[in-house]
Amino acid sequence: MSATFVASAILTLLAGIGIFLIACSMMSSNLEAVSSHRLRTMFAKVSKSKWLGVGIGAVATAAIQSSGATTVMVIGFVNAGIMSLVQAATIIFGANIGTTITGQIVALGMFGGDSISTTVLFSAMAGVGAFIMTFAKKDILKKVGGILAGFGMLFVGLSMMSSSMESFAELDAVKQFLAAIKNPLLLVLVGAVLTAIIQSSSVMTSVAITMLFVGLISLDQGIYLTMGSNIGSCVVAIIAGMTSGTNAKRTALIHLLFNTGGVIIFLVVGLLLGMVPGRDVDFGTIFGTLFPDAPQTQLAMFHTFFNCIAVLLFLPFTEKLVKLVERIIPEHVAVEEEAKPDTKRLYYVDEHMLATPPLAVQQVKKEIMNMADIAMRNFSDSLYLLRHPDAIDMDQFRANEDELNYLNKKLTHFLVKLFDQNLSVKDKRYISTAFHTLTDLERVGDYAKNVIEFKDMIAETDGELSPDAIDEIRSLQELLEKLYDATVRAYVKRDLDAFEEAKAYEQQMDDLTEAYKGAHLYRLNEDICNPEIGANYMTFLSNVERVADHYFNVAESIKEVLR
């Protein structure tokens, strides 16, 4: 064979792998966008039920076609402190089952015989999907087109890989080299290293199925390469975990121990099968007997069987696995980090959640509501301090103020990155409104500072507010808290009834502050109030009115999302 023939085969293989990876990415991003609501609902149900966690992990991974994305997202949840290690472990177990769907799809595409092959039929979907993406007007149809195009391209890449493998199968040197690699440990190592390099167990499994189909390797070789791909797939999670907190590192280690442990168990079982006297028994002969004349199905079914059995073996020992990981990575590291008084962080989002944008959007809402709560707490405290000077710890007030500034800055940066991800039109609209919402909440914090400055000015002049003014402040605070409550219900639940309630409270606030300004002018004319304090009191009333406007803006943002 000429050097040109070999170079052409290698380039075709690289092209096939490239198209396959792009197809996986297209399917993943568009499936995520289309199924975002269902994904959010599923992850909201994560509880103490181990089987529920496994099911959620399996379905989510099958939906987004990426166990790596699921695992990295879980690391983000654990790092943010909103998912326990036990819950994370069960979802990772399920993700390993969900990822086997790609191998089954690839195996299905290799049937056809003398008729039109399923590979050709499925590849045609790339054109159908591209047509829909080009001419569809609705975003949801464009996403569906992207899914179909990605699905079709998956088989275009598979066809190119298969073509290159057939070329390699004609090379005696290649066949002799591969035939010489029979050591299970070496095959597992090769599978792990190749998967770590391309960072996709789906691609490695698909390449192994293709090599088996064209006769380049035996079923046993494909089995051990596939087992190695399970270990190599941990690299993405390890990288994500090493750059995060202690619990994120533990989550990555759980993933590594689970995948490695499953491989070790099957290696031992394979060794014991080979020691059965008088019989030549191994995984290859077993699955070859179960699925005759379909080598691609034999390997795909082993991959599914391997991951399902590993989950069944490890699931009863989930708590013990978590305890082992906690001993390997001690708690004192986390305690030292949390002990720092100045440590600030985002509570519900983490950079790793960008791997699953629809779920990141869900968490952004929680982060914004946390920021809204801090802003409201500070403003309520400032109003209380006007009526009861020195009744509240100012250190805590200032700490809240600093945290608001921090959250505003960090969450804005996160939203910028999230906006660049492949999101549905509705999620894009929400992120757009979220930028304005952060500005509204940050301004509430600023007005709280203004109120404190007003309180300090009164103290410096040895003055005091009139009893009528104190009663007015109390009424304003009560009305503002009602407005805030309606705003939260409208924002979190996208409740239009709550929005109308917030609208009514905001109008009441406008009317009330206007009435109080008139009453205050009367008190000034009657010399009931100190003129210097009185001028600032008018500014204070305007500030309260603006705070109400900002909270109503937050409630009103849901109309943009719902349109």
* Percent residues over pLDDT 90 in the chain: 33
Q: Which residue has the higher pLDDT, 262 or 146?
A: 262
The yes-or-no verdict on residue 459 having pLDDT over 70 is: yes
In the structure encoding, which two tokens stand for residue 62, read together? 């099958």
The SS3 call for residue 342 is coil
Q: Tell me, what amino acid is at 240?
A: A
Residue owning tokens 């941990």: 234
> Is the Cβ–Cβ distance between 224 and 184 less than 8 Å?
yes
By C-alpha distance, which of 111, 105, 99, 119 is closest to 226? 99
d(Cα 310, Cα 15) in Å, to the nearest integer?
Answer: 34
pLDDT band for position 117 (50/70/90)?
low
* CA separation for the pair 407, 428 (Å, rounded): 21
pLDDT at residue 1, rounded to an integer? 53
246-250-252 Cα angle (round to 5):
120
Distance of CA 12 to the CA centre of its chain: 34
Q: What pLDDT is attached to residue 335?
A: 42
Q: Give the mean model confidence (pLDDT) for residues 104-120.
A: 68
Structure tokens at 369: 């509501």
The residue among 555 and 34 whose pLDDT is bigger is 555
State which amino acid sits at residue 322.
V
Over range 95-112, report the average pLDDT. 82
Kindly indicate the confidence band of residue 147, based on its pLDDT and cuts at 50, 70 and 90: confident
DSSP 40: H
pLDDT at residue number 41:
63
Q: How many other C-beta atoms can be found within 10 angstroms of the C-beta atom of residue 482?
A: 16
Helices vs. strands in the chain: H and E counts, helices first: 24, 0
Helix (H, G, I), strand (E, B) or coil at 305: helix
Instruction: Give the torsion sign (CA, 217, 218, 219, 224).
Output: negative
User: Could you report how far apart the first and last alpha carbons of the chain are, in Å?
Assistant: 64
pLDDT above 60 for 113 = no
DSSP 8-state class, residue 271: H
> Could you say which DSSP state residue 329 is in?
S
* Residue 39, pLDDT score: 62
Report whether 149 contacts 19 (CB < 8 A). Answer: no
Residue 224: pLDDT over 90: yes
Which of 109-123, 304-318, 522-536 is predicted least confidently? 109-123
Task: Say yes or no to pLDDT of 534 above 80.
Answer: no
Mean pLDDT computed over 326-332? 80
pLDDT of residue 47: 59
Q: Considering only CA atoms, which of 362, 396, 390 is closest in space to residue 378?
A: 396
Q: Among 31, 188, 181, which residue's Cα sits nearest to residue 101?
A: 31
Close Cβ partners of 541 (under 8 Å, ≥ 6 residues apart)? 476, 513, 516, 517, 520
Domains assigned to the chain: 40-113+164-328 (no CATH), 353-562 (1.20.58.220)
468-525 per-position pLDDT tens digit: 888 999 999 999 999 999 999 999 888 899 999 999 999 999 999 999 989 888 887 8
Q: And the tokens for 366?
A: 């929680």
**Structure letter (DSSP) for residue 66:** -
DSSP 179-221: HH---HHHHHHHHHHHHHHHT-HHHHHHHHHHHHHTTSS-HHH
Q: Among 60-69, 91-100, 424-433, which range has the highest average pLDDT?
A: 91-100
Rounded Cα–Cα distance for residues 97 and 376 (Å) = 45
* pLDDT confidence bin for 161, thresholds 50/70/90: confident
Cα separation, 531 vs 525, in Å, equals: 9
Using CB atoms within 10 A of its CB, is residue 343 exposed (0-12), middle (13-18) or buried (19+)?
Answer: exposed
Q: Distance between CA atoms of 508 and 480, rounded to whole angstroms?
A: 10
CA–CA distance, 137 with 97 (Å, rounded to integer)? 36
Amino acid of residue 180: A
181: closest CA among 198, 194, 196?
194
CA angle 237, 254, 93 (to 5 degrees): 85
User: What tokens appear for 107 in the block?
Assistant: 């195996």
Mean pLDDT across 136-160? 83
The beta-carbon contacts of 107-112 under 8 Å, at least 24 apart in sequence, are 107/209, 107/294, 107/296, 107/297, 107/299, 107/300, 109/154, 109/155, 109/158, 110/162, 110/209, 110/213, 110/296, 111/294
Instruction: Please report, rounded to a whole number, the percentage of residues in the chain having pLDDT higher than 70.
Output: 89
Examine the pLDDT at 338 and tell me if it is beyond 50: no
Q: For residues 16 and 548, which has the higher predicted lDDT (pLDDT)?
A: 548
What gap in Å lies between CA 6 and CA 20, rounded to an integer?
A: 21
Give the tens place of pLDDT for each residue, 345-372: 788 888 877 877 877 888 898 899 999 9
- Spatial separation of the C-alpha atoms in residues 101 and 63, rounded to whole Å: 10
The stretch 296-324 carries a mean pLDDT of 93
Count Cα neighbours of 468 within 13 Å in the Cβ-side half-sphere: 14
| Largest pairwise CA distance in the chain | 112
Higher pLDDT, 29 or 440: 440
Separation between Cα atoms, residue 177 and residue 183, nearest integer Å:
13
Q: What is the DSSP string of 224-238?
A: HHHHHHHHHTHHHHH
- Model confidence at 452: pLDDT above 60: yes
Residue 315 carries which side chain, given as an amino acid letter? L
Question: What pTM did the predictor assign?
Answer: 0.68
Interatomic CA distance for residues 423 and 29, integer angstroms: 8
Q: Is there a contact between 252 and 235 (Cβ–Cβ < 8 Å)?
A: no
pLDDT in tens, 38-88: 666 666 666 567 888 898 888 878 766 677 777 877 887 787 666 788 888
What is the CB-side half-sphere exposure of residue 442 using CA atoms within 13 A? Answer: 15
**Residue 447 binned pLDDT confidence (cut-offs 50, 70, 90):** very high
pLDDT at position 331 over 80: no
